[in-house]
Structure 1
Amino acid sequence: MSSGRPDAEQVAAQREAELHRRLREVEAAVLARAPENQVDPSLRAIRELMDLMGDPQRTVPMIHVTGTNGKTSTARMIERLLRELGIRTGRFTSPHLTDVRERIAIDGQPISAEAFVAAWDDVAPFLEMVDRHSAELGEPVINYFQVLTAMAFSAFAEAPVDAMVVEVGLGGTWDSTNVADGQVAVITPIAIDHERLLGSTRAAIAGEKAGIIKAGAVAVLGLQEQDAAEVLLHRAGEVGADVAVEGQQIGVLAREVAVGGQVVTVQGLGGVYPDLFLPLHGEHQAHNLACALAAVEAFVGGGRDRLDLDLVRDAVAGMDSPGRLEVVRRSPTVVVDAAHNPAGAEALAGSLEEAFAFSRLVGVVAVLQEKDPLGILEALEPVLDEIVVTRTSSSRSTPPDELAAVAEEVFGEDRVHVARDLPTALDVAVTLAERDGDLGAGVLATGSVTMAAEVRILLGAS
């Protein structure tokens, strides 16, 4: 005879349904904020929000990462090394590929639905107060990225984690992540990108990114052009930060291509790390690894001692970077890469030639409107036999006809095909790759992070 009370399974199902409802509600509230590319060059509002929340960003030591390309890969490498050393980690990166919760990771895993909702509940009451104050001052309200930054700091303090690895969203000085002070600041190579917001020269962009170098910190500088390096070194000297420069104190001593990646020997601050198997393609990833190792050495021991070699080897062998030279299908091979500026496209082109032996390669390319399509396409032209230009679901995606006009300047009309949407573009590219029964042909999908994300979803790689 039934007691009329719900059983344990019913209670669990009700709780799960309520959590799912709240998660969708929170995601909608975050997405309703101004987009992350609408940036106000001020930390006033995010500082006010952090102050009201009790400054959670100051409760956990941090490694801060910026640069033009390689930020996410380097942050993931740093975090993987820290975990192998037994340190509980929080990682904040952007943008995400599939789910917004990827941006906030604890111990290498996307934040749980419960913790994501709880982080929003911590932030939301104070957010209303800061928004009102911003409106009174005639300033923009806090945007999507700033909200996620606040949620990440809250989640990391609540967990709690032992160390945060935080990637800058844009620039450095005015980025919302810069309300926290990193014990280590990592700056990957700087190139021209986001000119409207950061400046049109490497030196100007370096000036913005140098803002994450704080007094008493260690600045780990990836390979830089001289004009950028001078700005970064000046900032380090100005605030009294120690410096580790790739090519001087740290660097890649040797590397060779291997099945599934590469074998790398790295000079760290504390010693040499020989014969590390890194399951990622491209010379740039070896350089990212050198910076990541130096950052962890500086963080855990001031750079005086070499880390345990076996632990480092295990960590490096377990590294990944979704959406970066990632094979998402075989027969024909489809590779996705999130390259979205000329420097990234140049690195991609070099890595493709080194790591893959395609007899023919067809590109699927979509570029956001504020980017440099000519520079991206010129960098890709030497490695692509044909190209299919298209658009992603992003409202900022360049219309295919406009992108085709630029592509024809670079490739000529005969090598350019136009598709109105991404699924059609992939079908066209696969057909072109398989046209002559060439088993060595492949497809490359690139041009934006959105492109990499949507192809991964379409081909079931997510």
Structure 2
Amino acid sequence: MTEEHEFAHGGSERLQHGPSPVELAEMALVEAELDQRRPERTAEPTLTRIATLMDVLGSPQRNYPAIHVAGTNGKTSVSRMIDALLSALHRRTGRITSPHLQLATERIAIDNTPVTPARYVEIFRELQPYIEMIDERSQAAGGQRLSKFEVLTAMAYAAFAEAPVDVAVVETGMGGTWDATNVIDGQVAVITPIGLDHTDYLGPDLGSIAGEKAGIIKRAPEDPLVPRDTVAIIAEQQPEAMEVLLRRAVEVDAAVAREGSEFRLLSRRIAVGGQVLEIQGLGGVYDEIFLPLHGEHQARNATLALAAVEAFFGAGAHKQLDIDAVRAGFAAAVSPGRMERMRSAPTIFIDAAHNPDGAKALAATLTDEFDFRRLVGVVAVLADKDAAGILEALEPVFDEIVVTSNGSPRALPAEELADLAVQRFGDERVVTATTMTDAVETAIAIAEEAGDAGEPVSGAGIVVTGSVVTAGAARSLFGKEPA
């Protein structure tokens, strides 16, 4: 049995029909070309290049309405839930999410399914002459080439127009105002909870970060044939952030619905494989909603997603969405890498928490919904993240921690992470491993150590976390297909 299938024991097997080696090789060539471009976090604040490319392509992003999602935590989960709800309500969807866990195709999904590697390559090659033309124009004017994220955004918008889709669900990259996705005008703008992340790019405090995120809230186009409002769906926020978001909504004359005021989570109860929710939506109460995801934060993400879809369809007082469709949509919702179970005996979860707020949500979920007798963490963090804050949030729930590197060029070296961990956990609770494989093997060995009676401790668990890259590497290690 291969190492991969040893890890995957107790989980699902690989799909039998996947991309061919030739298709994966061709995609790898495209990714190598894209990787020569600047990453999003080094791009200067401008939409000029991406807007020009969209014009050259015939403005594909104008061919469908959109729900635009920005924020610090929960964007991908909210986007996936919105997608699932729209699909259950018989709309063909296109979805942009980032970053990907395992394969870049995850970023562009149609009908809730990532495009194939062959289609990914085809889209890029179709756009390549126009991309290179914009590169040349920009460089001739003293500017830079399109960034990788700008190219990926253009690929998604073009693919959606070609499909065609009925509605696009668009997750921003890091920001809002200057995010490449913001060449689209969302009919509904969703703002998830805002925290301190990417401060070197978005600003040093909640107010400045909120100001950047608020840029997706826009004035509705003046069209006498199709009069409509833009609607801002806003999660509960710190007062400093909420003030900025509401000011922006007033400036552009957008309608506003706030979590805790116009809509809210009424109740949640833990169930096998997830939780059952009761939600006060914009159009009334939706009850007995099974959500196959763990954590209060996911319940609140569901509340936000439901309000966004209600707003998209014009739901309001006494105008509800079909309850059976809502239940079916949430029951079908998935969010890979978010408290996702990899195997049992011992139980292993992965979670993409990559900042202190995400780590706090993970810790709360582990405390509230599980009763592990011993819990071992496997943690690998990127160097530009608040590793100390992540460790601080996780210390109360992990009995031991195995620190490692996830293999990314941006990864914090395991030795440096170990130093930070020892300061919070103490030397006796920290183990260092060179690779992710070694770290998981070590964690399994710790979880299966004999207790005082000489028998393995029953009810032990392992959580692999610290970044999206870490979660993606763990998914691959356990033989999970990109989703």
Q: TM-score band (shorter)? A: over 0.9
Q: 2:363–2:394: 8 Å Cα contact kept in structure 1?
A: yes
Q: 1:294–1:303: 8 Å Cα contact kept in structure 2?
A: no
Give me the whole-angstrom Cα distance separating, in 2, the residues matched to 1:79 and 1:343: 24
Give me the whole-angstrom Cα distance separating, in 2, the residues matched to 1:157 and 1:115: 14
Q: Indicate the residue corresponding to 1:143 in structure 2.
A: 147
Report the alpha carbon displacement of residue 393 of structure 1 after superposing the two structures with TM.
1.2
Q: Indicate the residue corresponding to 2:353 in structure 1.
A: 339
Give me the whole-angstrom Cα distance separating, in 1, the residues matched to 2:30 and 2:394: 40
**Helix, strand or coil: the match of 1:98?**
coil
Bigger mean CA deviation after superposition, 115-124 or 411-420 = 115-124
1:49 aligns with 2:62: no
Give me the whole-angstrom Cα distance separating, in 1, the residues matched to 2:40 and 2:340: 26
Q: Indicate the residue corresponding to 1:124 in structure 2.
A: 128
1:258 aligns with 2:271: yes
Selected match of 2:469 from 450, 456, 459: 450
Q: 1:77–1:316: 8 Å Cα contact kept in structure 2?
A: yes
**Helix, strand or coil: the match of 2:43?**
coil
Higher relative contact order (CA 8 A, sep 6+): 2
Q: 2:447–2:457: 8 Å Cα contact kept in structure 1?
A: yes
Q: Indicate the residue corresponding to 2:174 in structure 1.
A: 170
Q: 1:338–1:452: 8 Å Cα contact kept in structure 2?
A: yes
Q: Indicate the residue corresponding to 1:323 in structure 2.
A: 337
Q: 2:81–2:302: 8 Å Cα contact kept in structure 1?
A: yes
Report the alpha carbon displacement of residue 26 of structure 1 after superposing the two structures with TM.
2.7
Bigger mean CA deviation after superposition, 45-54 or 130-139 = 130-139
Give me the whole-angstrom Cα distance separating, in 1, the residues matched to 2:428 and 2:25: 51
Give me the whole-angstrom Cα distance separating, in 1, the residues matched to 2:82 and 2:246: 22
Q: How many residues align?
A: 448
**1:192-203 equivalences in 2 (<5 Å):** 192-203=196-207
> Could you say if the C-alpha distance between residues 17 and 283 of structure 1 is closer, same or farther in structure 2, counting changes exceeding 3 Å?
closer
Q: Deviations over 1:214-241 (max 9, x none)?
A: 1131000011111100000000000000
Report the alpha carbon displacement of residue 314 of structure 1 after superposing the two structures with TM.
1.0
**Helix, strand or coil: the match of 2:164?**
coil
Give me the whole-angstrom Cα distance separating, in 2, the residues matched to 1:204 and 1:283: 27
> Could you say if the C-alpha distance between residues 362 and 32 of structure 1 is closer, same or farther in structure 2, counting changes exceeding 3 Å?
same
Bigger mean CA deviation after superposition, 112-121 or 445-454 = 112-121
Q: Indicate the residue corresponding to 1:224 in structure 2.
A: 237
Give me the whole-angstrom Cα distance separating, in 1, the residues matched to 2:25 and 2:375: 44
Q: 1:65–1:167: 8 Å Cα contact kept in structure 2?
A: yes
Q: Indicate the residue corresponding to 2:428 in structure 1.
A: 414
C-alpha RMSD over aligned residues: 1.5
Q: 1:171–1:209: 8 Å Cα contact kept in structure 2?
A: yes
Q: Indicate the residue corresponding to 1:84 in structure 2.
A: 88
**1:158-307 equivalences in 2 (<5 Å):** 158-216=162-220, 217-303=230-316, 305-307=319-321
Give me the whole-angstrom Cα distance separating, in 2, the residues matched to 1:263 and 1:89: 26
Structure 1 moving runs of 4+ over 6 Å: none
Bigger mean CA deviation after superposition, 252-261 or 22-31 = 22-31
Structure 2: state its 5+ residue gaps: 1-19, 221-229, 451-455
Give me the whole-angstrom Cα distance separating, in 1, the residues matched to 2:439 and 2:38: 31
Report the alpha carbon displacement of residue 22 of structure 1 after superposing the two structures with TM.
4.3
Selected match of 2:362 from 335, 342, 348: 348
Give me the whole-angstrom Cα distance separating, in 2, the residues matched to 1:271 and 1:102: 34
Give me the whole-angstrom Cα distance separating, in 1, the residues matched to 2:234 and 2:326: 21
> Could you say if the C-alpha distance between residues 396 and 317 of structure 1 is closer, same or farther in structure 2, counting changes exceeding 3 Å?
same
Selected match of 1:388 from 402, 409, 431: 402
Amino acid paired to 2:376: V
Structure 1: state its 5+ residue gaps: 1-15
Q: Indicate the residue corresponding to 2:224 in structure 1.
A: none
